[in-house]
Chain A
């Protein structure tokens, strides 16, 4: 019988094939390329911690801090990595609540990306505070003089938002992994069996376990959904609650959330396009999934386009000299190239995705994803650091002067993120075995029970 139409969201494999294909990604001997990749990431991690050691010894003078630009590359990179995480939660939690079936093949990799991106982001406020060994002052703990933090500050809201985000996204990832680790446990031997047995926490897929698991997963998704919207809103308020021209905008919360999801999908594309080839799972993550990811990119990119246009419009329409000067300098000031990089990479490049041919071309999507990553880092740099270069008094205006310590920490953050992700995809199921199986109807002796009662 010839197939004339098929739901592209449906997997084409049987239950046994799903297990076999995903377990193979873990059990197959890593290639030389894997070791080179992991080694490069480990080297960058050494660069990160080496530079951090120098910062601890000599202080933040090594970084490009000079008044009035006291929030520079580190805070820019913090916001960049936090934003990356948002696509993961959107795909794993929000699209789960919408019962969007295409998410199933890609959500595990995006969820892992979320956790590692937030782990990376969380390093930056600690690096930035200067006296890193006193980071625990951010947390309200019973101290000798019973001094408490200022909870009216958005920076304190951020401490709670980021630590909640890291905890909840890690919990969500681990809970989703447990049934899949059990499936791996049943297909490996030796020390690996012992390891995965311990990590599977006694999971057997018994009805009593599924009964609580499916409900709990639903509630976790329901809790993670408002969380993802709140986290980048709180991050945006770190800026919008102040009166710096270029920061003080009511549009910031939705603008930042859309930008975060946009940047996160960019990173998802950068990661899974090569990954599906390397792990030979391109029959599971297909052009259909990339088309949907591209549509999400187009949607969030269009919101960004609107937000960028509104920022310039409001600056002009407000009649406020300081706002107008800030936005004039973004486009035509000393760092005009950064301002235009942000606009071209985010607002304009995303519009290419209106064309189906581009959405269907995997190489084109990969190139676009690189533009998104670059554009979104620059967006944060333009908003955060460039706004600080010119506030109210022209006498106090300054220039951004990043140093080697800034660039080494930035490069090292990619190594830190990349090393965690590289280790994860070779040791844990990168595609959700259980959820894929849930989509494949189990075989029935009677395929049409409705026909005879």
Chain B
């Protein structure tokens, strides 16, 4: 059951949905939620959102993993110093494999954490949803007051929305 009041439009055609999004954004509706079964470039362009900051999670995770890999091996080797195979106590070339693996491991886990954290930043709880949006339709939800609802609905209808519902 939705709790955010607004208007939900369903579209069969991606260009109709993109046109509606452009017009709604131009009219000052910034907090749109657009549902689709797969990412659509035309929708992304219409929304005009910046590139996801998830790459920072990947970078910081990767660097942390790399530092941890070399730090762990060097510190542990020096903590109980034993010469093995005639190599230096802390033999850096031999530790590249571990440094590399931990770069990948922590970088990947940080990336996965990034999706979860960043997706949670915008709460979608209470926004209406239809199972058709994971199938073959595009949904556009516009949070708005009762006063604006009819204007938003008319924009959607003008852009050939196949179904417009008012959620209050």
B interface residue count range (under 10 / 10 to 19 / 20 to 34 / 35 or more): 35 or more
Identify the stretch in A35-43, A219-227, A329-337 within 8 Å (CB) of chain B at 4 or more residues. A219-227
Please, how many angstroms separate the alpha-carbon atoms of A205 and B107 in the complex?
25
Most A CB within 10 A of own CB, among B73, B116, B135, B138:
B135
One of A163, A202, A214, A237 near B39 (C-beta < 8 A): A214
- Interchain CB contact under 8 A, B54 and A212: yes
B135 touches A212 (CB 8 A): no
Residues of B within 8 Å of A167, CB to CB, are 105, 108-109
Main secondary structure of the interface of B (DSSP, over half): helix
Whether A215 touches B54, Cβ cut-off 8 Å, given contacts A202-B124, A445-B15, is yes
In the complex, what residues of B have CB within 8 A of residue A204's CB? Answer: 35, 124, 129, 133-134
Residues of chain A from 412 to 453 with CB closer than 8 A to chain B in the complex: 433-435, 437-438, 442-446, 449
**A152 to B91, Cβ gap below 8 A?**
yes
Which of A11-19, A122-130, A285-293 forms part of the interface with chain B?
A: A11-19
Given contacts A207-B44, A211-B44, A230-B97, contact A164 B12 (CB under 8 A): no
State the main secondary structure of chain A at its contact with B: helix
Q: Is the CB of A157 within 8 A of B135?
A: no
B32 to chain A, nearest CB (A): 8
With A171-B112, A211-B49, A434-B37 in contact, do A150 and B84 touch (Cβ < 8 Å)? yes
User: Which residues of A sit under 8 angstroms from B138, Cβ to Cβ?
Assistant: 442
Contact A171 B108 (CB under 8 A): yes
> Are A164 and B134 closer than 8 Å at their CB atoms?
no
How many positions in chain A have a CB within 8 Å of any CB in the partner chain? Answer: 65
**A216–B39 alpha-carbon span in the complex (Å):** 13
Chain B hits for A172, CB < 8 A: 108
Residues of A close to B36: CB separation below 8 A: 205, 207, 210
Partner of A205, one of B35, B72, B122, B127: B35
Task: Across the interface, name the chain A residue whose C-beta is closest to B129.
Answer: A204
- A62 interface residue (CB < 8 Å to B): no
B58 and A219 contact, CB distance less than 8 A: yes
Across the interface, which residues of A come within 8 angstroms of B80, CB to CB?
Answer: 146-148
Question: What are the residues of chain A within 8 A of B38 when measuring CB–CB?
Answer: 15, 179, 205, 434-435, 437-438
Given A151-B95, A183-B37, A445 and B160 contact (CB-CB distance below 8 Å): yes
Task: Establish whether residues B131 and A186, one from each chain, have CB atoms under 8 Å apart when the complex forms.
Answer: yes
> Across the interface, do A216 and B112 meet the contact criterion of CB distance under 8 Å?
yes
Chain A residue numbers with a CB within 8 Å of B124 are 202, 204, 206, 208-209
Binding site for B on A (CB under 8 A): 14-16, 19, 140, 146-152, 154, 156-157, 160-161, 163-164, 167-168, 171-172, 175, 179, 182-183, 185-187, 201-202, 204-216, 219-220, 223-224, 226-227, 230, 234, 237, 433-435, 437-438, 442-446, 449
6 nearest A-B residue pairs (beta carbon): A186-B131, A148-B76, A15-B136, A157-B97, A437-B38, A442-B14
